[in-house]
Chain A
Amino acid sequence: MFKYFNPNKVFFITSKAPKYVLILFIIVFTIGLIESLILSPEDYKQSHSVRIMYVHVPAAWITLGIFSTITLFSVFGYIFKNPNFFLISKSLAPSGFIFNIIALVTGSIWGKPTWGTWWAWDARITSMLILALFYGIYLLAWRIYQTQDQAFKVTTIITILGIINIPIIKYSVDWWNTLHQPASINILSKSSIHESMLFPLIIMTAAFALFSLLIFLMKYNTELIKIKNKGLDRL
């Protein structure tokens, strides 16, 4: 199965894909912006400030998804001794980190008109901040540890420790008394959000996912070329 993850074969696709992903991202993002800023209705309580949700929520979803994927690939990479899995994890991290920062900053901006404060040590916000720290440590570990084996080991430990935080983020609104409201969107049961707001949210999530795919592909190609550069030195 792992032969499909062979970088030599994958590079043909990953080197050509970014331009198509970029075009698709621009189209979907433009539709998402029109929907979220112009066409979607204002909230009866929060008025137009609800529009911040269309960047805040997708960013939070994507950053959680990326960290979970990084952990999965790191653990599998460590178990199956597959360096390409680590390359995938490393290439995913920058976009995950940026989405985490976007979620924190836009959440802070949303907090001011909604709760009357830019920041609160609320369980959801604090656990998201901890996730940002894990992303930061993870990215730093790749810079600090030059030996491949050491970097693989340390980054896997960081992701395993960090993944404990993911269910805490998800259920923090249920476990503790927080400023955040409980989830409005449920996959298994009926969502409490109206369709007119759900549609732009889905479009923006798709746009954000495409952007993270674009950054991942570019970063993955860069890492592959870096390896090949070292290979040329050894010739």
Chain B
Amino acid sequence: MIIELINMNGYGLYVWSAFAFTLLSFTLLYAVTKIQYVKEKKKFASKFGTLNSEKASFARSQSINRAILSNISNI
């Protein structure tokens, strides 16, 4: 049954390569997007770390900045 599934009446090479290409494209796109996402988060955290207390408290007053900072721990 497994050989039949792999061979698919002689069309296995076409079917499996089409599915493999799709999976590979998904994996690559996900990996690239994730890397960019994590990189920007880390950049944000390091920039935030360089702010003096006055600027940091001002930046922290924005809810989105707080949300990004709380999200960084989930990297």
Contact = CB atoms under 8 A, between A and B. Distances in A.
A109 B33 contact: no
Contacts of B34: 218
Contacts of A129: none
A215 B64 contact: no
Given A8-B63, A55-B19, A211-B26, A110 B14 contact: yes
A214 B30 CA distance: 9
Number of contact residues on B: which range applies? 35 or more
Interface in A58-110: 59, 94-95, 98, 101-102, 105-106, 109-110
Interface in B21-65: 21-22, 25-26, 29-30, 33-34, 36-37, 40-41, 43-44, 47-48, 51, 55, 58-59, 62-65
A12 B21 contact: no
B47 A229 contact: yes
B32 to A, nearest CB: 8
A109 B64 contact: no
Interface residues of A, number: 44
B51 A235 contact: yes
A102 B67 CA distance: 35
Contacts, number: 111
A125 to B, nearest CB: 15
B29 A221 contact: no
A222 B33 contact: yes
A38 B43 CA distance: 45
Interface in A38-61: 38, 42, 47-49, 51-52, 55-56, 59
Given A47-B9, A232-B51, 13 more contacts: A15-B68, A37-B15, A52-B18, A95-B29, A98-B26, A105-B18, A105-B21, A106-B18, A109-B14, A109-B18, A222-B40, A232-B59, A235-B59
Interface of A: 7-8, 11-12, 15, 33, 37-38, 42, 47-49, 51-52, 55-56, 59, 94-95, 98, 101-102, 105-106, 109-110, 112-113, 211, 214-215, 218-219, 221-222, 224-226, 228-229, 231-233, 235
21 contacts: A11-B67, A11-B68, A15-B71, A37-B15, A38-B5, A47-B9, A47-B11, A48-B8, A49-B11, A49-B14, A51-B8, A51-B15, A98-B26, A106-B21, A109-B14, A215-B30, A218-B37, A219-B36, A222-B33, A222-B36, A232-B59
